[in-house]
Amino acid sequence: MLKAAIVFADLHEQKDQNDEFIELVKAADMEIEHIFTQNLKSITLKTYIGIGKCHEIRDYIAEHDLDYIIFNHDLSAIQIKNLEDIFQLPIMDRTELILSIFQNRAHTPTARLQVESATLKKMLPRLIGSNTQLSRQGGSGKNKGAGEKQLGGSARDHAHNGDRRRIHSRIQEVQRELKKLETQRNTQRRSRQKSMLPFVSLVGYTNAGKSTIMNMLLQHSKSSEEKMVFEEDMLFATLDTSIRHIDLADGSSFLLSDTVGFISELPHDLFEAFHSTLEEVRYASLLIQVVDVSNSDYHRQMEITQQTLQEIHASDIPMITVYNKCDQSDYSYPIVHDHEIYMSAKQQVGIEELLELIHRHLYPDEKHVHMLLPYTQTAIYSLLMKYAKVISREDKEDGLHLEAILPDAYYQKYKKYVTNIIL
């Protein structure tokens, strides 16, 4: 495991953010050997931190075996160069750390390309005056950096040669590939919309338990094991958007998507890279915000979630708030208040209450009806059997006589076949 020292140089008190950064370093599979802190009145242009703190870190390095010095701040190219000259060690800033985590977590072609795009954009300004930037991305050995993996040959040579043109070309190529994948997603979305199934999206801070809740609902829906999504108690366990079919007790159903978790100060290039994926949230009928209520900083995390939803123009979508991990807190559970539920996904306590809450939001205007379908319209019957609740069927000379519970969208579409509304 790679060994690192962390530098917190804060302009204001931000203990919670620093605690979060420690978890980010651990998520990158690095061992923290030491933490340096400095309360800055202002940033030093050449080295970000003061020269006295630089000397303190340099003296520590001389006595200890380290692989990286990691800053919980974004650094300029010249700051990184100057710090590497002083420490004779690779420097990693906050953005690079998050990128390295995303590199290891990305599994689908879309996620991998999104991470590569952000990584290459991060490299560009650092090619000037630095001989190490490309080679440092993502570590060494099995964690070979994105620059080496994607550009081929020696990344260090690229930095020496200042081959910005080649990187620009690769960025353009990646953007074209992402555009093709976006077109595919749009086609898939239109297909989902034709089914008229409600689309529900899980959103929230990273490691709040979104994937656990999705798997809990899939298990309740008797879905097969291969439908389960990856879940782990760590930051950014999920980068890839997963969409699954969930059945409700009354025979109705909906589509549920899991999304990349949010985080404070998400690097701009990374946010831009994942913007098209996050935009899927905009098409949801309902959002389920998952909150880790055991985290002392969960109010700030909820604020960041709201800010992110505003940035992707999804803040006006109806939302249920799930206060998860109550088993690790002092909150009583399961308890439902209007649009909120307190529960524990890990213990599977609150699942019935959550499903009832989802049903209440998705199907507020269901109609209990009698229908007469001509035999020429049996395709509609098949559709209703799949996406509505057909209570009974009777085949008569004039057609199919049905008793069914229809979501409002289906009622509006097929109401010419409705013979009676049952009160």
Confidence at residue 232, expressed as pLDDT on a 0 to 100 scale: 61
If asked whether residues 256 and 305 sit together in one domain, one would say: yes
Domain assignment present for 410: yes
Ramachandran assignment for 360, one of left (phi > 0), alpha (psi -120 to 50 degrees), beta (any other): alpha
What is the Cα gyration radius of the chain?
26
Residues linked to residue 401 through DSSP beta bridges, in sequence order: 372, 394
If asked whether residues 356 and 381 sit together in one domain, one would say: no
Structure tokens at 322: 């799930």
Helix, strand or coil, per DSSP, at residue 43: coil
Strand stretches in 27-130, DSSP E? 30-39, 68-71, 91-92
Range in 166-170, 210-214, 265-269, 347-351 the model is least confident about: 265-269
Q: Residue 159 — pLDDT band, cuts 50, 70, 90?
A: very low
Q: Residue 380 — pLDDT band, cuts 50, 70, 90?
A: very high
Query: Per-residue pLDDT for 422 more than 70?
Result: yes
Q: Quick: pLDDT tens for 299-346.
A: 999 999 999 899 888 888 999 999 999 999 999 999 998 899 999 999
Confidence at residue 258, expressed as pLDDT on a 0 to 100 scale: 86
Contact 54, 298 (CB under 8 A): no
Domain assignment present for 70: yes
Q: Quick: pLDDT tens for 77-91.
A: 899 999 999 999 999
Query: Per-residue pLDDT for 154 more than 60?
Result: no
If asked whether residues 223 and 337 sit together in one domain, one would say: yes
Domain-terminating residue out of 168, 194, 220: 194
Mean pLDDT of the chain: 83
Confidence at residue 248, expressed as pLDDT on a 0 to 100 scale: 83
Angle, CA 370 vertex, CA 246 and CA 252 arms, to 5° = 5
DSSP per-residue string spanning 79-128: HHHHHHHHHSS-EE-HHHHHHHHHHHH--SHHHHHHHHHHHHHHHGGGST
If asked whether residues 208 and 352 sit together in one domain, one would say: yes
Query: Per-residue pLDDT for 31 more than 70?
Result: yes
Residue 329 is part of a domain; what is its CATH number?
Answer: 3.40.50.300
If asked whether residues 259 and 281 sit together in one domain, one would say: yes
Domain-terminating residue out of 51, 69, 92: 92
Q: Residue 184 — pLDDT band, cuts 50, 70, 90?
A: confident
Strand stretches in 26-67, DSSP E? 30-39
Percent of the chain with pLDDT over 90: 44
If asked whether residues 255 and 290 sit together in one domain, one would say: yes
Domain assignment present for 100: no
Average pLDDT estimate for 243-260: 85
Residues linked to residue 201 through DSSP beta bridges, in sequence order: 257, 287
Q: Quick: pLDDT tens for 96-139.
A: 998 888 888 777 788 888 889 888 888 877 765 444 444 444 44
Domain assignment present for 77: yes
Contact 54, 91 (CB under 8 A): no
If asked whether residues 351 and 378 sit together in one domain, one would say: no
Sign of CA dihedral 178, 198, 346, 263: positive
Tally of structural domains, the chain: 4
If asked whether residues 353 and 380 sit together in one domain, one would say: no
Q: Name the residue range of residue 321's domain.
A: 197-362
